Chains A and B, each alone.
Chain A
Amino acid sequence: MKRIVPGVVILLALVAGCAGHYQKVKDGVVYLYVTKPGAQDIYFASSIDGYELHKAKKIDENTWEVAVPAYAEFRYFYIADGVVYLPPCRLRERDDFGSENCIFIPGV
């Protein structure tokens, strides 16, 4: 049992580190970062412009970045290698298609 516990802890830590999501706001722009190891292409879509797809910029091996005006609230999601991908964001709502969308609210 003692041998299993550290293994499980390491496994959980690895799984937790597999996908991440954080943001930085600077000069009226929110920079959204998504971590998705192994992804070839990540696109960002939001309610700002009728969910047009924008290719995210790869900034290191596993992390992708998009810059979006931070003046108003918007809903968003990603398409990772052709599949809808929702990162572990704090604010969410249902999307009426059986999944959810992330929400950005200025100042929150």
Chain B
Amino acid sequence: MKKICFAGFAVLFCASVAFGDEVDKALSNIATEQLRASTRQMIRLGVKSDDAIGMTRVMLENRFRQENALRAHETIIRAKEEGLPVEPIMNKAHEGIAKRVKEENIIQAMETVRSRYAFAYEKAREVTQDQAQIRRIGNHIAEGVTAGMTDSDIHRIMHQLKFRSRQMMSAQRIGLATETFRAVREMARFGVSSELATEVAYEALRHQYSSDQMARMRQAFISHSRNTSPHIVAEGYSGAIQRGQNVKTLDFSSRRGVGKAGGAAGAAGSAGRTGGGGPRGGKR
């Protein structure tokens, strides 16, 4: 047992020295000891050394004050400790530098990204405790919010999702959540308002859509949006789902600029109807 403990300490010590060497070698001439220490901490927490050193170097080369570089490190360290992905946060720093944004605004944007992912992953944990699935659902939610979904609309969708999946097996529930938030994200990226995207998802859930049907709806939406305003397509979907129609068969050919969707046939897109209208998502 003593030998195992000794070997463990030796490995940790060697790893720490190796990080130290690498960080000192790359940053000793430009970064303070405090900044090098926080770079080492990021690496110890699992951030790739190239990424941690690279981001620090780029910030300093772009004349970031040490205190702001430290704040950027703190945001990444906090994200790592919270089990959030650090790539979107680090990418935000690089993006801000490429856009020549003021360093204070870059630090603020990095914190906004961290906060968004914290919210998204917290929502995803309401569906599952599996880390890989939390990551998948959480990323869809965060990307949807980045594209314009409001937190309150995400709450509404999650509420309906939990109601819809209360008697589902875990895998089914996860599948439905994944496809629902993926569909919502895509609509938001196409410029559909948070309110309307929420209405479409809410109606689909209320009409017992499965994860496969939700995925088909998303694909049909992308296809229809090639020639028709995505807003008109989403409005058409909301109405069609309420009527129990299959969105795939909707014809938008005469409504490309204005108005709403034409008639539809079949009911393959809907497994049942429970009546009533959907909610309206509020803006933050």
Contacts and interface: CB of A to CB of B under 8 A. Distances in A.
Interface residues of B, number: 27
Contacts of B105: 97
A61 interface: no
Interface stretch (A8-16, A34-42, A87-95): A87-95
Interface string B68-94: 000000000000000000000011101
A108 B94 CA distance: 26
B112 A84 contact: no
B107 to A, nearest CB: 11
B97 A51 contact: yes
B101 interface: yes
Contacts of A53: 98
Query: For B95, B100, B188, B189, which residue has the most chain A Cβ atoms within 10 angstroms?
Result: B95
Contacts, number: 57
Interface in B104-135: 105, 109, 112-113
Q: SS class of chain B's interface: helix, strand, loop or mixed?
A: helix
A64 interface: no
B20 interface: no
A92 B230 CA distance: 13
Given A96-B109, A96-B113, A47 B95 contact: yes
A108 B222 CA distance: 7
Interface string A45-56: 101001111000
8 contacts: A50-B90, A50-B94, A51-B91, A51-B94, A77-B99, A79-B98, A84-B100, A90-B225
Interface of B: 54, 90-92, 94-101, 105, 109, 112-113, 143, 146-148, 186, 188-191, 222, 225
Interface of A: 45, 47, 50-53, 75, 77, 79, 84, 90-97, 99, 101, 103, 105, 108
